[in-house]
């Protein structure tokens, strides 16, 4: 009986340590791979290192879109602050001035160098944080 | 009038399904009279519910826009095919379809199982209960029968243009068939635990059902991935979007489940795993429904945000899972097997890989829920993207594959004989290392994980080729279902690694009659046409591409403007060959008249879906063979 108990205890101990170790590794991987979401006005309140991937959401400012060959630059605003965005490539069909957009990229000299520009499938979409303020 | 009849029939069916549940649970479920009764009520309520659905399809085909849902999602100009598929293009109708499939699995089970089967009545009862849960959800929170009276619109709005695609019309049905098919395994597992007789071999009875559902789920996910690839214009096949993740979790659980099932249907070893997994698979399927329907997570798929629906589904799933787990803990003593798992037996490998599957499911779940938790605690919005999932999935999958590799030719309940397997193990490793080195020098592929993935994928495939060789040369045993599906897995890993490492893209700025060169391919913009279609206008751009061998072909990406909603969509143009896809999308026109186009070389991408097809084929063949051996 004692031997069985010892064995069981060892098994339980083994399971607990491996799952603790596993969870620790997973959460570490999670923490180093998060994309933080900001609105333009929040962006300058924080000190964001330029190797940190971020998401910025807001509205494309009217009249701010300029293009040069395949590059496009525009301003995202939440009507309290705004930020320049530069992107090389094709923007989605729903991207237009005065409508909602989310960009994924890195901050560099007060400009977001975007890797991805996302406009939502729904044309009535508003980034959630702006929805509340207006 | 037809609308009211359809609505009424659904309500009647709900009542009858509930009756079915009551009879099977509170009466003696072994009494032949009760089993016959439950079986009959079930079939009747199914056919009543089916007629309700068929009337609804009829209404959709005939443009009955006094039905609010049809008016909002269909259009008089749509081809009949899309009029039908518009039913599952949004929330209410797709829920309707979901329940039809749920009850269809039940009725097929009902007809194909003899009434003397011990668990039949209660299994039907559990299936009825879940159906009632979803039917109430449908009728109370998302009623598809709501009408616009007295003046229905004439034309109807439109189905979202991105969804006007033959593939997308069949992707949701396949996926739903997979999701809800696990209700049979779940129902049998619960019935088995209610009965509490460890001698009943429920695992054997659910095997073909579960493998069939798994095949549908695999196919549904692959179709969705293929659709996203050619329709969304991003050129990828998987985006780690929350909705993809909630389909991946039940798939992982189901894969672990059907493996455990193959062990526990032979002996009672791994029984606890199998039971827990059957509950897990079904709960994760329902959890997926909750995530998509409640809109609590930002995703390209999310239907309109509705807290009431979310709350209903969450409570329903919560009660179902809690009750199942409670039952499980009450019956735990009955389930413990006296047999021990022999180390290095097939069972031992399966249970090790169950742990890996569990780790993947747990990480995916964490990735899906972490943004919610984080925002709740720190009031900061975050999202979890591909880097996290890659960091977890790549190493865990590769380690699991190495265990798979060693499990080939291992025996049930016997330790494996390393000496006998020395030769095939050695050969497959040598061959794959040689091939990977060739690829390494030929294509200058680098990166530890890429090379690892290629090696691991290859050792699996080569190891199975050796098995096939032994089968033909020496008549050794070979399980072809296992061979096909696992070679599919090997191919999947190789394709993903090559695709990730070798694919490239570039945005070009090009005018008509200009030529650009990208990676030794000449691309000439030859023509721009405006083509009017029945429900949209199309702008088509023709590009003549000349590859390094001098072969030429035309790619025609287009932009569409739909009349009904004024929505603009892009259509990609793809030139597919064995090794690579040349993939073009067209963007905006600039002020100087030039266009922005995006060109991608997607290496080996087709093989990703091909490997999924291999898994599906293996699954369906196994179902076929199981059904034959039963008959």
**In angstroms, rounded to a whole number, what is the distance separating the alpha carbons of residues B270 and B346?**
11
**For residue B235, what pLDDT band results from cuts at 50, 70 and 90?**
confident
Instruction: List residues of chain B with CB under 8 Å from any CB of chain A.
Output: 160, 162, 233, 298, 300, 359, 362-363, 366-367, 370, 374, 380-385, 387-388, 391-392, 507-509, 559, 567-570, 585-588, 590-591, 596-598
pLDDT value at A132 more than 60: no
User: What proportion of chain B, given as a percentage, has pLDDT over 70?
Assistant: 96
**In angstroms, rounded to a whole number, what is the distance separating the alpha carbons of residues B399 and B410?**
18
**In angstroms, rounded to a whole number, what is the distance separating the alpha carbons of residues B492 and B89?**
30
What's residue B38's pLDDT?
94
| Average pLDDT rounded to a whole number, residues B42-63 | 96
Q: Give bridge partners of residue B616 from the DSSP assignment.
A: none
Selected for mutation to probe chain A from B596, B598, B600 (highest A CB count within 10 Å) is B596
Please tell me the distance in Å from A97's CA to the nearest CA on chain B: 14
Please tell me the distance in Å from B235's CA to the nearest CA on chain A: 12
Write out the H or E segment, with its range, that includes residue B540: strand B536-546
Mean pLDDT for chain A? 81
Which residues of B are less than 8 Å from A46 in CB distance? none
What's residue A133's pLDDT?
32
With an 8 Å Cβ cutoff, are A36 and B382 in contact? yes
Cβ atoms of A123 and B567 within 8 Å: the answer is yes
Selected for mutation to probe chain A from B391, B505, B541, B589 (highest A CB count within 10 Å) is B391
CB atoms within 10 A of CB B355: 18
| Average pLDDT rounded to a whole number, residues B131-148 | 93
**In angstroms, rounded to a whole number, what is the distance separating the alpha carbons of residues A106 and B8?**
56
The architecture of the domain spanning A36-133 is: Beta Barrel (2.40)
- Helix H, strand E, coil C: the string for B299-336 is CCCCCCCCHHHHHHHHHHHHHHHHHHHHHHHHCHHHHC
Residue B308: how many CA atoms within 13 Å on its side-chain side? 5
**In angstroms, rounded to a whole number, what is the distance separating the alpha carbons of residues B559 and B576?**
20
Q: What are phi and psi of B505, to 5 degrees?
A: -150, 160
Q: CA nearest B98: which of B107, B87, B109, B108?
A: B87
What's residue A128's pLDDT?
38
Query: Searching chain B, which residue's CA lies closest to the CA of residue A96?
Result: B588
What's residue B631's pLDDT?
58
Distance linking the first and last C-alpha atoms of chain B: 46
- Token readout for B454 is 């290629």
Write out the H or E segment, with its range, that includes residue B14: helix B2-26
Q: What is the DSSP letter of B362?
A: H
Q: Quickly tell me which residue has 């249907």 as its tokens.
A: B265
| Average pLDDT rounded to a whole number, residues B527-543 | 90
Q: Give bridge partners of residue B384 from the DSSP assignment.
A: A34
- Token readout for B370 is 């972490």
**In whole angstroms, how large is the CA radius of gyration of chain B?**
27
Query: Searching chain B, which residue's CA lies closest to the CA of residue A129?
Result: B381
Of A86-90, A95-99, B598-602, the one with minimum mean pLDDT is A95-99
A67 touches chain B (CB under 8 A): yes
**For residue A122, what pLDDT band results from cuts at 50, 70 and 90?**
very low
Show Cβ contacts of residue B590 under 8 Å, excluding neighbours closer than 6 positions: A67, B509, B596
Nearest-CB residue to A35 (from B385, B391, B586)? B385
3-state secondary structure of B125: helix
Which residues of B are less than 8 Å from A37 in CB distance? 380-383
pLDDT digits (tens, 9 = 90+) for A39-79: 888 887 777 888 888 889 888 999 899 988 889 999 999 88
Cβ atoms of B295 and B303 within 8 Å: the answer is yes
**In angstroms, rounded to a whole number, what is the distance separating the alpha carbons of residues B292 and B304?**
9
**For residue B553, what pLDDT band results from cuts at 50, 70 and 90?**
very high
For chains A and B, what is the number of CB pairs under 8 angstroms?
84
**For residue B156, what pLDDT band results from cuts at 50, 70 and 90?**
confident
- Token readout for B414 is 């016997």
**In angstroms, rounded to a whole number, what is the distance separating the alpha carbons of residues B482 and B461?**
12
Nearest-CB residue to B385 (from A23, A29, A33)? A33
**For residue B291, what pLDDT band results from cuts at 50, 70 and 90?**
confident
pLDDT value at A126 more than 50: no
Of B55-69, B408-422, B428-442, the one with minimum mean pLDDT is B408-422
- Report pTM: 0.93
The CA–CA distances, whole Å, from A47 to A28, A50, A51, B384 equal 22, 9, 12, 20
The CA–CA distances, whole Å, from B458 to B211, B389, B558, B602 equal 26, 23, 39, 21
pLDDT digits (tens, 9 = 90+) for B353-363: 999 999 999 99
| Average pLDDT rounded to a whole number, residues B368-373 | 88
Q: Give bridge partners of residue A82 from the DSSP assignment.
A: A77
A13 touches chain B (CB under 8 A): no
Burial class (CB in 10 A: 0-12, 13-18, 19+), B532: exposed
| Average pLDDT rounded to a whole number, residues B321-347 | 86
**For residue B267, what pLDDT band results from cuts at 50, 70 and 90?**
confident
pLDDT value at A130 more than 50: no
Which residues of B are less than 8 Å from A94 in CB distance? 568
**In angstroms, rounded to a whole number, what is the distance separating the alpha carbons of residues B247 and B228?**
15
pLDDT value at B268 more than 70: yes
Cβ atoms of B272 and B266 within 8 Å: the answer is no
With an 8 Å Cβ cutoff, are A26 and B362 in contact? yes
Q: What are phi and psi of B484, to 5 degrees?
A: -65, -45
pLDDT value at A3 more than 80: no
What's residue A68's pLDDT?
85
Domain locations along chain A: 1-33, 36-133
Q: Give bridge partners of residue B67 from the DSSP assignment.
A: B147
**In angstroms, rounded to a whole number, what is the distance separating the alpha carbons of residues B523 and B515?**
5
pLDDT value at A124 more than 60: no
DSSP assignment string, A81-108: -EEEEEEESPPPTT--TTSEEEEEEEEE
pLDDT value at B303 more than 60: no
Q: CA nearest A102: which of B305, B365, A122?
A: A122
What's residue B217's pLDDT?
96
Q: What are phi and psi of B113, to 5 degrees?
A: -110, 135
What's residue A11's pLDDT?
85
pLDDT digits (tens, 9 = 90+) for B465-522: 999 999 999 988 889 999 999 999 999 999 999 999 999 999 999 999 999 999 899 9
Burial class (CB in 10 A: 0-12, 13-18, 19+), A123: middle
pLDDT value at B524 more than 60: yes
The whole-angstrom distance between residue B64's C-alpha and the CA centroid of its chain comes to 32
Mean pLDDT for chain B? 90
Of A70-79, B49-58, B221-230, B558-567, the one with minimum mean pLDDT is B558-567
**In angstroms, rounded to a whole number, what is the distance separating the alpha carbons of residues B309 and B143?**
12
């Amino acid at each position: 009986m004692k031997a069985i108990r010892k064995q069981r205890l060892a098994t339980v101990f083994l399971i607990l340590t491996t799952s603790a170790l596993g969870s620790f590794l997973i959460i570490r991987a999670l923490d180093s791979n998060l994309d933080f979401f900001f609105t333009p006005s929040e962006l300058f309140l924080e000190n964001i290192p330029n190797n940190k991937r971020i998401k910025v959401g807001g509205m494309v400012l009217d009249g701010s879109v300029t293009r040069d060959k395949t590059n496009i630059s525009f301003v995202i605003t939440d009507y309290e602050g705004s930020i320049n965005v530069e992107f090389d490539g094709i923007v989605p069909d729903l991207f237009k001035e005065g409508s909602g957009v989310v960009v994924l990229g890195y901050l560099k000299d007060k400009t977001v160098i975007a890797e991805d520009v996302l406009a939502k499938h729904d044309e009535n979409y508003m980034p959630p944080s702006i929805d509340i303020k207006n | 009038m037809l609308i009211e009849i359809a609505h009424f029939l659904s309500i009647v069916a709900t009542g009858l399904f509930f009756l079915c549940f009551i009879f099977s649970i509170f009466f003696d479920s072994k009494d032949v009279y009760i089993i016959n009764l439950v079986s009959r009520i079930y079939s009747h309520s199914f056919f009543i519910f089916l007629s309700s659905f068929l009337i609804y399809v009829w209404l959709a085909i005939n443009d009955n826009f006094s039905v609010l849902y049809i008016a909002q999602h269909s259009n008089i100009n749509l081809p009949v095919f899309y009029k039908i598929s518009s039913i599952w293009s949004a929330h209410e109708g797709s829920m309707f379809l979901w329940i039809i499939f749920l009850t269809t699995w039940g009725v097929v089970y009902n007809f194909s199982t003899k009434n003397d089967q011990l668990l039949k009545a209660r299994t039907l009862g559990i299936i009825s209960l879940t159906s009632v849960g979803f039917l109430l959800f449908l009728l109370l929170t998302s009623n598809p029968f709501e009408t616009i009276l007295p003046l229905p619109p004439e034309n109807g709005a439109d189905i979202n243009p991105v969804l006007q695609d033959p593939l997308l019309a069949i992707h949701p049905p396949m996926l739903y068939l997979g999701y809800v098919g696990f209700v049979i395994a779940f129902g049998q597992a619960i019935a088995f635990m209610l009965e509490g007789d460890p001698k009943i071999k429920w695992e054997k009875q659910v095997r073909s059902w579960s493998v069939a559902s798994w095949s549908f789920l695999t196919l549904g996910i692959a179709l969705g991935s293929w659709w996203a690839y050619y329709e969304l214009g991003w050129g990828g096949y998987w985006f780690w979007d929350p909705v993809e993740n909630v389909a991946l979790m039940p798939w992982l659980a189901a894969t672990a489940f059907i493996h455990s099932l193959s062990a526990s249907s032979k002996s009672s070893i791994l029984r606890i795993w199998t039971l827990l997994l059957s509950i897990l698979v079904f709960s994760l399927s329902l959890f997926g429904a909750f995530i998509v329907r409640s809109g609590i997570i930002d995703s390209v798929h999310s239907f309109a945000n509705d807290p009431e629906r979310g709350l209903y589904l969450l409570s329903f799933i919560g009660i179902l899972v809690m009750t199942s787990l409670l039952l499980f803990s009450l019956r735990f003593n009955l389930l413990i097997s006296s047999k021990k798992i022999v180390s290095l037996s097939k069972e031992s490998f399966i249970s090790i890989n169950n742990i890996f599957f569990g780790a993947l499911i747990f990480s995916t779940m964490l990735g899906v829920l972490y943004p919610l938790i984080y925002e709740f605690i720190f009031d900061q919005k975050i999202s979890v993207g591909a880097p996290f999932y890659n960091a977890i999935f790549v190493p865990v999958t590769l380690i699991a594959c190495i265990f798979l590799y060693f499990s080939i030719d291992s025996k049930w309940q016997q330790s494996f004989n390393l000496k006998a397997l020395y030769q095939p193990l050695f050969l497959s490793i040598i061959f794959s290392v040689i091939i990977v080195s060739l690829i390494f020098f030929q294509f200058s592929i680098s990166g530890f994980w890429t090379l690892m993935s290629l090696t691991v994928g290859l050792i699996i495939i080569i190891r199975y080729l050796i098995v096939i060789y032994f089968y033909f040369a020496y008549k050794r045993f070979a399980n072809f279902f296992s061979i096909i599906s696992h070679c599919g897995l090997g191919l999947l890993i190789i394709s993903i690694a090559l695709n990730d490492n070798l694919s490239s893209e570039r945005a070009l700025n090009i005018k008509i009659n200009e030529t650009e060169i990208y990676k030794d391919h000449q691309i000439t913009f030859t023509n721009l046409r405006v083509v009017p279609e029945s429900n949209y206008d199309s702008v088509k751009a023709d590009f003549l591409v000349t590859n390094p061998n001098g072969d030429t072909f035309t790619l025609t990406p287009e932009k569409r403007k739909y009349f009904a909603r004024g929505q603009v969509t892009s259509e990609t143009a793809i030139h597919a060959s064995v090794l690579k896809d040349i993939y073009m999308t067209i963007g905006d026109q600039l002020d100087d008249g030039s266009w922005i186009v995006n060109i991608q070389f997607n290496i080996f991408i087709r093989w990703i879906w091909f490997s999924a097809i291999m898994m599906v084929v293996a699954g369906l063949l196994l179902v076929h063979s199981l059904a034959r051996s039963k008959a």
